[in-house]
């Protein structure tokens, strides 16, 4: 697997591409200081080059390999990077916060769909009641506004919720 390309943002300089060995070398020789920030091409957040090369402690995290289900230990600063499990499966280091957010969005989307279905049922009930009132022999067509309105509101808000998924 090809190691990811990195970017470095040094104080007062524009961000520039760099290879991992270049960061290791720069930290070792002192031309990369603690005020610099780095990220890989797969990441949208910056962190210390000292943490990247292991000169400073960095928080770790565990997650299960989707193929062999074994727990893998990784660093939080490796989120988004591709890694290979001992079983050979290639995967991306997950972002626990982002995964939780997408899980919540999915739940909201499902709840929204349920509400939408219920809204349609209520609305249909309102329309059927209106038609039934006509069929029952009333002289005028009685629109049952309550259920039609409530059904429409439910359907619309359910539709909005179901679209909340990012």
Q: Which is nearer to Zn ion, 68 or 101 (CB)?
A: 68
Site for Zn ion (CB under 5 A): how many residues? 6
Stretch near Zn ion under the rule CB under 5 A, chosen from 1-9, 52-60, 64-72, 101-109: 64-72
For residues 4 and 93, is the Cβ–Cβ distance under 8 A? no
* 65 in contact with Zn ion (CB under 5 A): yes
Q: Which is nearer to Zn ion, 79 or 161 (CB)?
A: 79
For residues 131 and 93, is the Cβ–Cβ distance under 8 A? no
For residues 127 and 143, is the Cβ–Cβ distance under 8 A? no
Q: Which of 19, 34, 87, 132 binds Zn ion (CB under 5 A)?
A: 87
DSSP 35: T
Name which of 60, 58, 80 is nearest 72 in CA terms: 60
* 108 in contact with Zn ion (CB under 5 A): no
* 83 in contact with Zn ion (CB under 5 A): no
């Amino acid at each position: 697997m090809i190691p990811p390309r990195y970017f470095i943002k040094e104080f007062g300089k524009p961000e520039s591409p760099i290879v991992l060995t270049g960061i290791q070398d720069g930290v070792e020789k002192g031309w990369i200081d603690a005020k610099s920030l780095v990220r890989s091409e797969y990441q949208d957040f910056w962190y210390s080059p000292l943490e990247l090369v292991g000169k400073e402690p960095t928080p770790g995290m565990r997650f299960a390999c989707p193929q062999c289900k074994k727990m893998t230990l990784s660093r939080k600063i490796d989120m988004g990077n591709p890694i290979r499990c001992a079983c050979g499966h290639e995967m991306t280091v997950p972002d626990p916060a982002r995964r939780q957010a997408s899980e919540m969005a999915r739940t909201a989307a499902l709840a929204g769909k349920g509400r939408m279905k219920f809204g349609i049922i209520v609305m249909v009930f309102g329309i059927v009641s209106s038609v039934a009132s006509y069929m029952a022999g009333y002289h005028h067509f009685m629109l049952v506004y309550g259920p039609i309105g409530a059904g429409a509101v439910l359907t619309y808000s359910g539709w909005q919720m179901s679209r909340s998924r990012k």
